[in-house]
Amino acid sequence: MSQKPDERPWDDLIELIDAKQPEGIIAAIDAIPEREIALILSRLDDEDRNWLLTLLDPSDAAGLLEDISDEQAAHILSELSPDDAGRILDELPQDQAVDVLSELDEADAEDILQSMPPESADSARELLNYPKDTAGHLMITEVLYYRDSLSIGDVNQDLQKKQDLYRSYHIQYIYVIDANHCLVGVMRIHDLLFSSKSSLLRDVMIGNPISVNGNATLDEISDAFAQHSLLALPVVDDAGILLGIVLPVAVEEAKRKRTVKHFLWLSGIVGGEEFRSMPLYKRSGRRLSWLTLNIALNIIAASVIALYQETLAAAIALAVFLPMVSDMSGCSGNQAVAVSLRELALGLLRPGEILRVAYKESTLGLINGVLLGILLGIVAYLWKGNIFLSLVIGVALAGNTLVAVTVGGMLPLLLKRLKIDPALVSSPLLTTVTDMCGFFLVLSLASTVLPRISV
């Protein structure tokens, strides 16, 4: 799978596209490894890409979009006419189509839905009505269900008749419904092999099947899968009517996307994925929006230094250590933030357990603070040979590490209780606190022993 940078399996395709030459396009696409599709689509300019996608059969075009991320697919479809986009979207697996639609502006999504066959559009709208990461949003409505009054023979006959249609379904179970379309039972597909043809579903089915409500959250669905070893989980509405099924892979994927989002937030990429194929103004603008918040926080923190200018001027060596103390404590604190975020995600920590975290982190913060403080104190002594300077730096780093680790551990829990997503703001807030506290500790300690460290 590893490819040298000079091998370019897509050269043929690019040539055909440049020449706007339809013949041979399909063969050229087939020659490209799946993993390169996203890369190529991202490198074509809008005109070339639109030409290619409208030239292809909608199902072939959908095949290309299946291999790329939802954000990228949404971006690509938004550049097409709603009619073309609708035709392609209609060929995508339903859950992916909904994922892509939910990445678009609402107006763009509605334009595309208008152009789709009414039954596809309606069933997509039904899923879009549910908030992201709920069962209703993650489910697929392509599900096999039969009335409880039918026989095993009836079901086998129907399965055989519609083989081709069902081939694309994820058939693990058939679901059994009553006259009101309410879910009343389930059968594993291969149990159909072993039941007599004349048995009625209601007699051989497993009754009271496990199901989740359309509004169930990702964590609730995940729990249900963990608790009952199932290959699919039926989704019902408040009245018990069968709406669709959620597959384990959709749950894992949604959980992975949530982790990716937190990963990006932690690095200051907010508002969704950024691709370098996006327009420069958009990339620059989104990054700036987060940076300007940060600059404001930085100004607040640095203002502490302004208060102690005389101290600093009198002992200029301190200036070397100011950024070190604040940076190091920031690193220590971010470790504690990460552990709290993970423990919250894994259910190992309740948002109310702030005191427990404070205790666990302050003991660790004290140990690591003292050790790091001794280390940096020794460095300071080796450099300047001044024991007071060395003490100021060491004690400040120890104290600031204790504060940073304790606050860092608690901050995600506090934010969670305030209903703010802790992955988004824990890190910038923590940095501000540890910067201010670090500057204050170094400079205020120094001012108490000032004459002795003015070397």
Considering only residues 401 through 430, tell me which ones interact with its own copies, judged by CB under 8 A: none
**The tokens 């954000």 sit on which residue?**
71
Of 53-61, 95-103, 176-184, 326-334, which segment contacts its own copies by CB under 8 A? 326-334
- Cα separation, 253 vs 69, whole angstroms: 11
If one asks whether residue 189 binds its own copies (CB under 8 A), the answer comes out as yes
- Cα separation, 234 vs 372, whole angstroms: 54
Q: Please name every residue paired with 140 in a beta bridge, in sequence order, or none if there are none.
A: 245
Closer CB to its own copies, residue 113 or residue 135? 135
If one asks whether residue 455 binds its own copies (CB under 8 A), the answer comes out as no
Cβ at position 142, least distance to its own copies in Å? 13
Instruction: Give the residue, chosen from 288, 385, 387, 421, that forms a contact with its own copies under the rule CB under 8 A.
Output: 288
Q: Which long-range contacts (CB under 8 A, 24 or more apart) does 446-449 make?
A: 446/308, 446/311, 446/315, 446/318, 446/389, 446/392, 447/308, 447/311, 449/388, 449/391, 449/392
Phi, psi for 147 (deg, rounded to 5) = -65, 145
Instruction: Give the residue, chosen from 170, 181, 202, 452, that forms a contact with its own copies under the rule CB under 8 A.
Output: 170
Residue 254 DSSP SS3: helix
Instruction: Name the residue among 325, 290, 303 with its Cα closest to residue 397.
Output: 325
Closer CB to its own copies, residue 189 or residue 449? 189
Cβ at position 307, least distance to its own copies in Å? 10
Cβ at position 445, least distance to its own copies in Å? 16
- Cα separation, 98 vs 103, whole angstroms: 9
If one asks whether residue 49 binds its own copies (CB under 8 A), the answer comes out as no
Of 106-114, 120-128, 176-184, 431-439, which segment contacts its own copies by CB under 8 A? 431-439
Number of residues located near its own copies, criterion CB under 8 A: 122
Cα atoms found within 13 Å of the Cα of residue 434, Cβ hemisphere only: 34
Of 4-23, binders to its own copies (CB under 8 A) are 4-5
If one asks whether residue 259 binds its own copies (CB under 8 A), the answer comes out as yes
Cβ at position 334, least distance to its own copies in Å? 5
If one asks whether residue 447 binds its own copies (CB under 8 A), the answer comes out as no
Instruction: Give the residue, chosen from 248, 358, 395, 449, that forms a contact with its own copies under the rule CB under 8 A.
Output: 248
Binding mask 222-241 for its own copies (x = CB under 8 A): -x--xx-x-x----------
Closer CB to its own copies, residue 120 or residue 156? 156
Of 380-399, binders to its own copies (CB under 8 A) are 383
If one asks whether residue 215 binds its own copies (CB under 8 A), the answer comes out as no
- Cα separation, 455 vs 452, whole angstroms: 8
Of 338-367, binders to its own copies (CB under 8 A) are 338-339, 342-343, 346-353, 356-357, 360, 363-364, 367
Closer CB to its own copies, residue 118 or residue 279? 279
Q: Please name every residue paired with 235 in a beta bridge, in sequence order, or none if there are none.
A: 212, 244
Other CB atoms within a 10 A radius of the CB of residue 47 amount to 11
Of 46-54, 105-113, 132-140, 218-226, which segment contacts its own copies by CB under 8 A? 218-226
The residue type of 26 is I
Cβ atoms of 113 and 101 closer than 8 Å:
yes
Cβ atoms of 453 and 316 closer than 8 Å:
no
Instruction: Give the residue, chosen from 27, 165, 260, 378, that forms a contact with its own copies under the rule CB under 8 A.
Output: 260
If one asks whether residue 374 binds its own copies (CB under 8 A), the answer comes out as no
If one asks whether residue 197 binds its own copies (CB under 8 A), the answer comes out as no
Q: What is the distance, to the nearest Å, from the Cα of residue 437 to the centroid of all Cα atoms in its chain? A: 32
Q: What is the distance, to the nearest Å, from the Cα of residue 178 to the centroid of all Cα atoms in its chain? A: 38
- Cα separation, 46 vs 75, whole angstroms: 10
Instruction: Give the residue, chosen from 107, 194, 238, 239, that forms a contact with its own copies under the rule CB under 8 A.
Output: 194
Helix 70-78, helix 94-103: angle, nearest 10 = 70
Cβ atoms of 76 and 107 closer than 8 Å:
no
- Cα separation, 151 vs 260, whole angstroms: 47
| Residue 448, token pair as written in the block | 């108490």
Cβ at position 209, least distance to its own copies in Å? 16
- Cα separation, 367 vs 361, whole angstroms: 10
Instruction: Give the residue, chosen from 54, 255, 374, 424, that forms a contact with its own copies under the rule CB under 8 A.
Output: 255
If one asks whether residue 450 binds its own copies (CB under 8 A), the answer comes out as no
- Cα separation, 118 vs 103, whole angstroms: 21
If one asks whether residue 371 binds its own copies (CB under 8 A), the answer comes out as yes
Instruction: Name the residue among 326, 305, 433 with its Cα closest to residue 376.
Output: 326
Helices (H) and strands (E) counted in the chain, each on its own, are: 23, 7
Closer CB to its own copies, residue 1 or residue 179? 1
Cβ at position 106, least distance to its own copies in Å? 25
Binding mask 53-82 for its own copies (x = CB under 8 A): -------------xxxx--x----------
